Amino acid sequence: MKQILPIVLAGLLGGSLAAAQGNDDAASPIFIEGEVDDLSQFVWENRLVVIFADSPNDPNFGLQVEYLEARINELVERDILVLTDTDPSVQTALRTKLRPRGFMMVLIGKDGEVKLRKPFPWDVRELTRTIDKMPIRQREIRERRTLQDN
């Protein structure tokens, strides 16, 4: 069952929320649709998965969103926000910076650097494995273990 999560973050970003599946325990919406020009607001706070497509009807776009919705709790656990852009006619700063051609999924780390680009949908399991190997994520895992042990 799909739910529309309350829009708290999108008001700050000037975007609107895409439909996201999850439970009521989700702390904040993670799907943000529309223009976000300044990614510096996310540095050291969130990892970003940016999904570009030439249309919201692109089958790869739909499949990528399904993959992410199916395991939303794993994304929340890793501080991931999902930004979507399906209108290539609007040349946003994000499109100018990342230069997608058709469908593209981009992973941006907490340090603000592009970590991964894929021209096809990626399963959350593959995505989380990649994230879990990153030094910042390794530190987060160690810190959580330390807190749990105390």
pLDDT tens digit sequence for 12-33: 233 333 333 334 444 347 998 7
CATH number of 9-149: 3.40.30.10
Per the listing, tokens 């995505």 go with 127
Can you give the residue ranges of every domain in the chain?
9-149
**Confidence (pLDDT) at 35:** 77
pLDDT tier at 148 (50, 70, 90 boundaries)?
confident
Output the CA torsion sign for 30, 131, 119, 125: negative
- What is the pLDDT averaged over residues 101-125? 97
Nearest to 68 by CA among 126, 117, 116, 108: 126
Q: Using CA atoms, how far apart are residues 148 and 145, in angstroms rounded to an integer?
A: 5
Q: Using CA atoms, how far apart are residues 76 and 22, in angstroms rounded to an integer?
A: 10
pLDDT tier at 99 (50, 70, 90 boundaries)?
very high
